[in-house]
Amino acid sequence: MNRRHLLKTMGLSLATTPLLSVEGFALDLLFAEEGHASDEKFWKKFAKQHYNVSSDFINLENGYFGVQPNSVLKAYQANIEKVNAYSSKFMRQEFYQKNYPEIKQALADVSGVLPEELLITRNATEALNILIQGLDLKKGDEVILQHHDYHSMIETFRMLENKIGITLKFVDVPLAPKNHQEIIDIYTDAITNKTRCILVTHLTHLTGQIMPVKEISTIARSKGIDVIVDAAHSFAQIDYRFQDLNADFIGVNLHKWFGNPLGAGLMYVKKERIKDIQPLYGDSKKAIDDIDKLGHYGTPATPIVMTITEAAKFHVMVGILPKEARLRYLKEYWTQRAKNIDRVSITTPLDAQQSCALASFKVEGVTAKDVVKKLDDKFRVFTVIRKLHDDTVVRVTPNLYNSTDDLERLLEGIEAITKS
Ligand SMILES: Cc1ncc(COP(=O)(O)O)c(C=O)c1O
């Protein structure tokens, strides 16, 4: 892949290259040869330069939220000080006039849509609630979900089930589908003439499985069904732009893979569909097709929102292609070995392309709670328990600052646990 082609894939032009040389790493990343994902020397140097994580333990629980890179943390601290020092003068004369449009533009550039199609929220749950509750579902309307969707979104639909009388239909997606078509068929076979909406989680938080959102969405839209995409985990973890999903409604957060401080999310609504979403927070003044009519939720956490520009800069500097490749490499590194350990099963699709950083596993005869505790107590490896159907699994999520040494420690821990 040559430089021009790579930049184009990232939605950039040669004119924007100065952004890419932040702290001198980008060019190495950009022009690295195939195999850069496994270049430990390079990634260790990268981690040392860009992250300051505790050496007290090995954090393999980056699925909750991401550690901010140093440049982002520094910008965040400066933003807190600026808002405190300039107070309401800054908010009344500068923030909305100057900063806010720039922040929206940075997000539009990264996600590949128009700034007027984006609304900054406090997290993914808020973005998705505005969408789900804004669709104006009626009694008898059917909604298709799957058991691995995020519980907060399921709860919102349950609330509407009780309040309005919509019907929830859950589909079961196999962990090891033969191909994408099998998943597409499962969703589309569940469609009836009462189906009004489908919630599709792009990358699930339990197993890391990646769903064929575009295909499901294209079929659903051809039947007049709305698709809401929960992209909380896929945004900035895997390579795509919002329009690639062919969906009208998307909710994400910016504190997982995008590396912003905790407390910011993003909602996308295709321009011509804004009029179809009813505000969750009352607003009768704004135009029906103005996305800001959906954002009447009071004073924002301004320093967090301001930091988005620095997080976007870091995201562009690394590049989503090398990032996705490295994260997938780390996941493959431990899952390919762990799957051969006696009594261990990987509860993530084994086809490498069907997941990225996040994967989970279980050990026959040992509860996930015990595995997590032993890994933490004896090996200083921090992971988390997740509930999968009636079972529990251990979720492992490395980030860019993790090395294969960290994964060796995890594997050592898993081996020891299976032998104890
Ligand atoms: C798939 C998925 N959707 C939504 C959310 C909620 O994100 P937030 O905490 O930003 O509201 C999460 C959080 O882990 C998630 O994994």
What separation in Å is there between the alpha carbon of 130 and the centre of ligand 1?
14
Residue to mutate, 233, 255, 267, ligand 1, most ligand atoms under 8 Å from C-beta: 233
DSSP state of 23: G
Give 336-381 pLDDT, tens digit per residue: 999 999 999 999 998 999 999 999 999 999 999 999 999 999 999 9
The answer to whether residue 177 sits within a structural domain is yes
In three-state form (DSSP H/G/I as H, E/B as E, the rest C), the secondary structure along 204-272 is: CCCCCCECCHHHHHHHHHHCCCEEEEECCCCCCCCCCCHHHHCCCEEEEECCCCCCCCCCCEEEEECHH
pLDDT at residue number 27: 47
What's the 251 CA to ligand 1 centre distance in angstroms? 9
- Domain match, 84 and 209 both: yes
CATH number, domain with residue 384: 3.90.1150.10
Is residue 1 one of the residues assigned to a domain?
A: no
Give 318's contacts (C-beta < 8 A, 6+ positions apart).
25, 26, 29, 400
CB atoms within 10 A of CB 117: 22
Ligand 1 pocket check: which of 126, 157, 256, 388 to mutate, most ligand atoms within 8 Å of Cβ? 256
Q: Are residues 159 and 275 in the same domain?
A: yes
- Give yes or no: residues 123 and 267 share one domain: yes
Contact 318, 26 (CB under 8 A): yes
Number of separate domains in the chain? 2
pLDDT at 86 over 60: yes
26-30, 85-89, 286-290, 357-361: which range is least confident on average?
A: 26-30
Q: Mean pLDDT in the chain?
A: 92
Confidence of residue 35 (pLDDT cuts 50, 70, 90): low
| pTM for the structure as a whole | 0.93
Is residue 411 domain-shared with residue 309, that is, in the same domain? no
* 155 and 237, same domain (yes or no): yes
CA distance 253 to 144: 23
Q: Which CATH number fits the domain that encloses residue 148? A: 3.40.640.10
pLDDT tens-digit readout, 225-260: 999 999 999 999 999 999 999 999 999 999 999 999
CA 93/CA 89 separation, integer angstroms:
6
Domain check: are 204 and 251 in the same one? yes
Look at residue 21 and tell me whether its pLDDT is greater than 70.
no
Range of the domain at 392: 32-61+319-419
Whether residue 323 sits in one domain with residue 307:
no
Locate the ligand 1 atom nearest the alpha carbon of residue 65 and give its number: 14
Domain boundary among 315, 345, 376: 315
Question: Do 114 and 263 fall within a single domain?
Answer: yes
pLDDT-derived band at 176 (thresholds 50, 70, 90) equals confident
Q: Answer yes or no: do 145 and 203 share one domain.
A: yes
Phi and psi at residue 114, in whole multiples of 5°? -85, 145
For residues 111 and 216, state if they share a domain. yes
Question: CB within 6 Å of ligand 1 — which residues?
Answer: 123-125, 150, 152, 201, 205, 230, 232-233, 253, 265
User: In terms of Cα–Cα distance, which of 318, 368, 418, 380 is closest to 36?
Assistant: 318
**Mean pLDDT to the nearest integer, 58-74:** 98
Distance 199 CA to ligand 1 centre (A): 14
43 & 150 share domain: no
Relative to beta strand 195-201, strand 226-230 is: parallel
In a domain, 69, yes or no: no
* Mutation probe of ligand 1 site: the residue of 62, 123, 262 with most atoms within 8 A of C-beta: 123
Pair (128, 231) in one structural domain: yes
